[in-house]
């Protein structure tokens, strides 16, 4: 369910050189526009480094939009040149009140052909990404 934006989403992007994985840490209230900007920055950094694996730490994110708006998110990220051949692992808190939203996002992306998987444990997400190398 949507609510007013209280703390706009922020993100930090860095590479995990030994594994060729782009690490993205996000926090705050996510809107489709802010996710699009973060994806554009992340994909740009990944392409410059020749990286196609993304680890997104979303444990501090709250979605500030409705599920109807989230439905457009795969189109938004595809417009930012995230490819269906890229691997995206995102980690969300196990006790998240928005667990259903995270599961909805995972299913939405997978059904649109993306290699996109949600995890509640960071180690599991990294293991999945490393197995795809």
Domain ranges of the chain: 10-131
Per-residue pLDDT in tens (0 to 9) along the chain, 133 residues: 344 547 899 999 999 878 899 999 999 998 888 998 999 999 999 999 999 999 999 999 988 777 767 888 888 888 888 999 999 999 999 888 888 889 999 999 999 999 999 999 999 999 999 999 7
Query: pLDDT digit string (tens) for 10-28?
Result: 999 999 878 899 999 999 9
CA angle 88, 53, 55 (to 5 degrees): 55
Extract the runs of DSSP E, i.e. beta strands, from the chain.
10-16, 21-30, 53-63, 87-91, 115-119
Query: What is the predicted pLDDT for the residue at 47?
Result: 94
Query: What is the predicted pLDDT for the residue at 4?
Result: 52
Superfamily of domain 10-131: STAS domain (3.30.750.24)
Q: Is 108 exposed, middle or buried (0-12, 13-18, 19+ CB in 10 A)?
A: middle
Residues in CB range of 24: below 8 A, 6 or more apart: 11, 12, 13, 38, 42, 54, 55, 56, 57
Residue 44, CB-side half-sphere exposure with 13 Å CA sphere:
8
């Amino acid at each position: 369910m949507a609510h007013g934006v209280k703390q706009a989403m922020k993100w930090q992007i860095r590479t995990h050189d030994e594994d060729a994985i782009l690490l993205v840490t996000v926090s705050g209230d996510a809107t489709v526009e802010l996710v699009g900007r973060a994806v554009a920055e992340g994909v740009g950094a990944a392409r410059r480094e020749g990286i196609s694996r993304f680890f997104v730490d979303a444990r501090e994110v709250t979605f500030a939009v409705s599920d109807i708006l989230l439905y457009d998110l795969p189109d938004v990220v595809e417009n930012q040149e995230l490819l269906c051949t890229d691997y995206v692992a995102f980690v969300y808190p196990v006790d998240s009140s928005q667990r259903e939203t995270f599961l909805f996002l995972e299913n939405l992306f997978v059904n649109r052909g993306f290699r996109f998987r949600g995890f509640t444990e960071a180690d599991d997400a990294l293991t999945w990404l490393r197995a795809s190398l």
